Structure 1
Amino acid sequence: MTQPATTSPRAPRPSMDLPDTLRFAELEPVAWRNGGGVTRELARGPAHEAGPGWRVSLAELERAGPFSAFAGLARHFTVIGAHPVTLMLAGRRVELAPLESLAFAGDAAVDCLLPDGPSRALNLMYNPRHWRADVAWLDPGVALTRDPGCETLLLAVAGGARLAGSVSARLDCGDAWHWRRLGSPATPLSYTLEAPHTARLIRIDLQPLT
């Protein structure tokens, strides 16, 4: 007896949830107040009555010096440049190699040292009273699954990527994708990425708490 053909369940189609592409070359550089480098903002969330929301930016670390303080915010700092970065905070010395991260309070007194020369960093700052943040590296070949109720960003630190089935959704090195919230949490959407095995992709998910 012939068995009926079976098909595997299809992932939800993300055609109505394509990301905005943020090109590094189009980001406006803004000098730090202390002259230690420049920042390029990728995206930010709306401010709340009780304070700011969230902000994701790329920092060019050009010389050693203190970081600015941001009271009431949490901070996640990831080295994405070729050189290591040393942070001095709360009486301890934290040495971060390229691709390593550190989370700390936004109002902490932090001094940045550049033992091998200038570097770059991905900065996430957010209000922990109103947002939950997750930062993780996405392995090439692994599907990106996201909650439409979250803000999701994907930055190509090295290499690039493309959304399978989409000619226009291409991510070059240094660029980022930003999926905006569609509303309340819903069925997760899954995206198949085409990327070389040498690609380094970092994702940020921001979920509102209120």
Structure 2
Amino acid sequence: MTALTEWESKQLLGPRLPVPREARTGTVDEAARLATGWGCAVVAKASGIAHKSDAGLVRLGLDPESLRAVWPALAAAGDGTVLVAEQVSGELELIVGGRRDDTFGPLVTVGFGGVAAEVLDDVAVLLSPPRPGELEDALDGLRGARLLAGYRGSPPVDRAQLGRVVAAVADLLDRDPNVVEIDCNPVLIRDGQPVVLDALVVKR
């Protein structure tokens, strides 16, 4: 099995996948120029590492100067490049994924994610691709479904846009039989809109 990098995984999932502004940088100067041009705090991630957060290879809240300081170590820990992205915040963290099951074939999953996804264990599993109405029913069946409708003044989750993330996962499973697992986690909900912050595709 081969785990693709985050950058490769997002590229494979297609251009319609909603992601923050980001780029894979090959030099510290390139990274600093991007951060300066964006004019916002950025996140820097070692590339080529499957579980970057667990390994301590994600740095948050960086300006161009602090990005220059951490870039060399992140590059050395991974494949020599560093993924730089605008830092975004939101209301919820969801997870969207897919896998091939020996009995049922391709499956997609959707539910509450982030670093506590395994603890929360609030996900729905559907045959891929979901039939019309199945995703809506699955979302309504989650224990935390009320959070999707908006709370404490936050807007409701745009289910149509979330459905497009699920569709991107289902489409990749359909068009590439060598893909055995897909993990988009977290899918941040920002102002009701999904933004895929991290992705992992595993191929055989």
**TM-score between the two structures when normalised by the length of structure 2:** 0.35
- Bigger strand fraction: 1
Bigger Rg, which one = 1
Higher-RCO chain (CA-CA 8 Å, sequence separation at least 6): 2
* Bigger helix fraction: 2
- TM-score w.r.t. the length of structure 1 is 0.34
